Structure 1
Amino acid sequence: MRNVLALLLSAVLSGCSSPANYDPNGTWINKAAIDAASQGGNLREALLAYGPNLEWNIDAARKTAEVSNGFELDEGQLVSDANGQWRVDFYGDYHEQLNVENDQMRQAESQNGPEQRFQRSTLKLPIDAPPGSSFEQALYSAYLGGTWKITQGVGEGGLVLFHPDGQVEGLPGADRYALCLAGDCAAMSGENDSLWLQLGNQGNSWLFKREGERIEIFQAVNQAQVDEMPSYLPGASTWVLEKD
């Protein structure tokens, strides 16, 4: 009798559980990197600790998979294995192994990098949004979201809003911004975090330091020669922003 009851209970429980979803389609973002950055420390250290890949875009019908590190975009051929296992073959004869289950995806450790974990993005972006936009907007919301008050610098006492789409309100001399995630801007700023501030068609690089709910923005002083790649060091402190 006990065996019969156990079998019935097992059948009921099995019927209640939903089968795993192995569908790889969509955009996947490196949520661990975003969570680390949102703690309010050095941005690039957080990205390097959980990167280097920040976003995957997968189209199973076309058998393609694109991966972005915030600067470069690489596209590979998607090959299906069993039960949520997928292989991505890239030019140059290297591969990445992906495991998809429901809204989580794991990129296995390989010769190209450590194990990384991704979450399916729920952001609805325009169809022509550049690759990497889903990660970028999620990062901008987590890292710079909310209202900031200028406690030092031009516009002192004013409020600043950094929007996820790269617009900024309330920061004198700027209406657009972009955080440096990787690539040339990272190489030029060394160990410092950097961002781009733009007004209309004119913009410049700036360095910044984030400590919890405080951000200090510095002029970027180029130490390189005219014929060399720029090498920036922090110059004069221009603004201090604090979470309002």
Structure 2
Amino acid sequence: MGCELTKLASGSNGSNSKSNNVPSLDACGPPPTDARLPLTAKQKYTMVASWKGISRAMETTGITMFIKLFEEHADLLNMFSKFRELKTKEEQATSEELQEHANKVMNTLDEGIRGLDDLDTFFEFIHQVGASHRRIPGFKQEYFWRIEEPFLTAVSTTLGDRYTQNVEGIYKLTIKFIIETLVAGYEASANNNVDSGGGGGGIGGGGGGASGTGGTTSRAS
């Protein structure tokens, strides 16, 4: 609407917008995003567009992510009853159980990223995912952060040349935002004594899923 009014004002007497002190059409950009989202409108558009490439390769991206996770944090394997015996990359890459869990986690991330246009719904969903990790024996809050680098590695592998420096920066902001929201949901569930049901896949054990709550928290070391 603002751009249309500018157009009418600048064209009503045949003079250009600058001479009438009317903002030029070039100033009309995309509407601002929700202040709670750490992405500009342009960054969010780039993120959603880039994610389409990931959504066409969810399983392979998820498997790559978990192989990298277990390579860096072998102790986490013990939290997964269905595939804790998968000690080699080859065993992990061909495991139907791991493929199933990877799909659940990627679908959770997919729903979260697709929900960036509606942050109230995003926070509700991711909060539930974070809170559900309370039901995983031995799970610790800092484990959420262990998925950050494996996720970025997997995305880079899937996107290849499309994973530019700009795109990388946007993915880093996005996964940090998601993990912060998971952590906030996990913490809130302790304060509120919430027993959330599964709302998607999580990084934690038993082969089960996990869901989280929105908000921001400082990164665990």
Please, what TM-score do these two structures have when normalized by structure 1? 0.24
Which structure has greater helix proportion?
2
Give the strand-richer structure, 1 or 2. Answer: 1
TM-score (norm 2): 0.26
Larger Rg, first or second structure (1 or 2):
1
